[in-house]
Amino acid sequence: MTNTIILIIAGILLWAYAVDIMAKKFHIPAVIPLVASGLALNFYMQQQGLSMDWLDLSLPVLGTLGLILIVLEGALDLKLEREKAGLMLKSLISAAIALFLCTIAYALLFDWAFDFDRYTAVALAIPFAVISSAVAIPSSRALEKSNSEFVVYESSISDILGVLVFFTWLDATNNASQFGADLIGGGALSLILSVLFSLGLIWLISQVKGHVRFLPILAMLFLLYGLGKSLHLSPLILVLGFGLMLNNTELIKRSPKISRFLDPHIDTTVSEFKSQVAELEFGVRSIFFIMLGLWTPLESLRDYRAWLISLSVIAILLIIRIVLLKVLRLDIKQLLWLAPRGLITVLLTLTAMETIDIGNFPPGAVMLTVLSTCLIVLLARPKSATEACLQEASRMEDEDELDEIAEPDVIKPDKATDTV
């Protein structure tokens, strides 16, 4: 049995690595083949009569670890630069308004379809309103630089806001005034603690020596996340703050009192830490999506209500996104399709199912929405990516022509000197 488990884990990781290579080569979201693999394994295990009860406990734990690592990796890719302030503001506005409007629309849809009370309808609506940075960020790499950066900022902010609003709503138990106070107060307190703990972690990461350096940092980050959850704070703000501050240490170095505590080689350390986080996040995320396919009841995917809910969610999403992108004067052709649902949607829905009574809500709607939005990215992105690449190539050709025109002006004086 032990040998079988080892072979299965090794096989899953190798298959995930192969899928990742194919996804990058053919510009497809890796979540699609990973979940499809899990669904195929699900069918096989059902045919063999094998139990999958262990998934109910392991899936939320693995998903939470993946959530922390995804937010951390996303933050480690963000640079806080003054010239990008406008883009960051547009990303914040887009993520916040989209989350708000989609939540209201989905809550009304669920209330109408399943006769939920407001509390239950909103709790189920929020997960469907969150953009998945785990899918959106890798899918945006072939776009124009400004559009790609917008997707990184928007999806990361959407993740943070979605998780913050979701857990605050669950704790408020349908009390609107308490929800508002907890959201503002809890967010502000979490932000203050984030700065303090992040400075402490950055000091620690610059002081730890030896072969084992990054595991204690990650363990401390997981510990702080768990403590924050227990105190009903927003621990993902801590994760985001730590990643942002670690990737923008030049801002910290402006303070002489703080910079003297940092290792002079902190930039090299940060680069190594990024690599470790990326590999760990890849492994956890890949296993999670395969296990998600294993966990999904296959009969729920045949439920017509799940298909209707999924199609309605996508239609509402596209309408709201078109309006937002037009108002913000952003590139609709490239950005319209890059609002996929993924890990956050699944994880928050699982939490909602454990916390509240969702009645006859079809669980297959979650999987169908995730796969459908990822499929939309797959079908729409190659055209947008190709156009972006052609524009970039055209820009480079123009620069080369300008260089060729300018080059004789530089050479002429030399030739004149030689003649003389």
**What local confidence, expressed as pLDDT, does residue 95 receive?**
94
Joined together, the tokens standing for residue 195 give: 């700065």
User: What b/e readout covers 258-279, taking b as 16+ CB neighbours within 10 angstroms?
Assistant: eeeebbeebeebbeebbeebee
pLDDT, residue 9, reads 78
Task: For residue 33, tell me if it sits in a domain.
Answer: no
The rounded distance, in Å, linking the Cα atoms of 344 and 369 is 12
- Annotate 131-200 with DSSP letters as a single string: --HHHHHHHTTTS-HHHHHHHHHHHHHHHHHHHHHHHHHHHHTT-HHHHHHHHHHHHHHHHHHHHHHHHH
> Quick one: angle between helices 145-172 and 176-207, nearest 10?
120
Q: Are 381 and 373 in contact (CB under 8 A)?
A: no
- 81 within domain boundaries: yes
- pLDDT at residue 383 in the model: 52
SS3 per residue for 315-346: HHHHHHHHHHHHHCCCCHHHHCCCCCCCHHHH
Give the pLDDT score at 199.
80
Residue 112 lies in a domain: yes
Per the CB < 8 A criterion, the answer to whether 305 and 38 are in contact is: no
CA distances from 166 to 101, 159, 172, 271, 290 (A): 14, 11, 10, 33, 25
Separation between Cα atoms, residue 174 and residue 416, nearest integer Å: 83
- Is residue 409, in this structure, part of any structural domain at all? no
Ordered mean pLDDT values, 10 residues apiece, the chain (420 residues) = 76 86 78 87 81 74 82 78 83 94 95 89 94 81 82 86 84 68 73 81 75 80 83 78 80 69 71 85 84 83 91 95 92 88 87 84 90 86 50 49 47 40
CATH number at residue 243: 1.20.1530.20
What CA–CA distance (Å, rounded) separates 223 from 225?
Answer: 5
Question: Is residue 13 domain-resident?
Answer: no
Model pTM above 0.95: no
Q: Is residue 18 part of a domain?
A: no
Six token digits for residue 163: 């998780």
Per-residue burial over 221-244, b if 16 or more Cβ lie within 10 Å, else e, is bbebbeebeeeebbbbbbbbbbbb
- Say how far apart CA 172 and CA 167 lie, in whole Å: 9
Helix, strand, coil percent content, the chain, rounded in steps of 5: 80, 0, 20
Res 411: pLDDT:
41
Which residue range is the domain that position 146 belongs to?
58-382
Is 210 inside any structural domain?
yes
Look up residue 219 and give its two tokens: 């363990």
> Is there a domain that residue 403 lies in?
no
Instruction: Give pLDDT, residue 373.
Output: 92
Our count of domains for the chain comes to 1
